[in-house]
Amino acid sequence: MAAQWNAKNKNILITGAASGLGAAYAQALLRDGAQNIAVLDIDEKTGQNFVAKLNETYNNKAIFIRCDVSKEADIDNSFKTVLNQFQRIDVLINNAGIMSDTDSLWRLASDVNWQGLVSFTMKAVKHMRKDEGGAGGTIVNISSTAGICKLNFLPIYCGSKGAVLHFSQSLASAPFYDNTGIRVLTLCPGPTATKLMEGMDQRIVETTTMKQLQLDGVIIQRIESAVAAMMKLLKDGDNGSIWLSANDKPALELTPQINKYLNELEKLTLP
């Protein structure tokens, strides 16, 4: 088990944090004593208003930076800006995401959900790694239950979130933590009561009929449940661990089950 983690004196960067789960993570981490929070988002007005409210409560501990996670120049400039402000980044939470499989948006969504996340992750690794003079740290990559389950109406979104999970597992493989002092953790939230769940019928793959949109009986969990899961994995999660947050139940670690499955496949494919 990793040493008990706490937010006190940590500098934290969260993408997609102007509203929804990203904003809720920022508030929870400041309540727990985070030293500084960088809120990154493409929605400038909402982000600035949110940070202004945070700073009223938490004594100017938050900054807002406009960032389009689909654009490498924005990612590079934003990361450098946070470093200039904070001097050190202890935690990166790759939360930005788009759920849309439509013909007009799937490529942008994939850039945000996958390539932007990889870019931020690799910048954080370079900055944090102890074997190159860094202080270590934590990277949380947000996958989804869609990265584990098959959804015929969101196959592209499922693919991007499955990629996040496998990328995080592969990166975290030994001896990564021993060399770098960086934990790579993965959170897989289920359907949660944010704007991401609104207008779903307008964002499914365009070869799908509404009859195939199988959401009957699906539990839309409260934001508070996903936040509790985030805090649990930050405090207790070992490097490479995968956590489920769904159906308003306590966070559940999935690492043993997923590793067992992958190990069996590796026996079939590797010499």
Which of the residues 58, 157, 177, 261 is marked catalytic?
157
Tokens coding 120: 């931020």
To the query of whether residue 157 is one of the catalytic residues in this protein, the response is yes
Closest alpha carbon to 245 in 169, 194, 183, 201: 194
DSSP label at 203?
S
Q: How far is CA 35 from CA 106, 245, 271, in A?
A: 37, 26, 48
**Residue carrying the six token digits 């920022």:** 26
Q: Are 204 and 154 in contact (CB under 8 A)?
A: yes
Q: Are 39 and 86 in contact (CB under 8 A)?
A: no
Say which residues have a Cβ less than 8 Å from residue 232's Cβ, sequence separation at least 6: 243, 250, 251
Beta-strand ranges (E) seen in 110-203 are 137-142, 182-189
Catalytic residue positions, numbered: 157
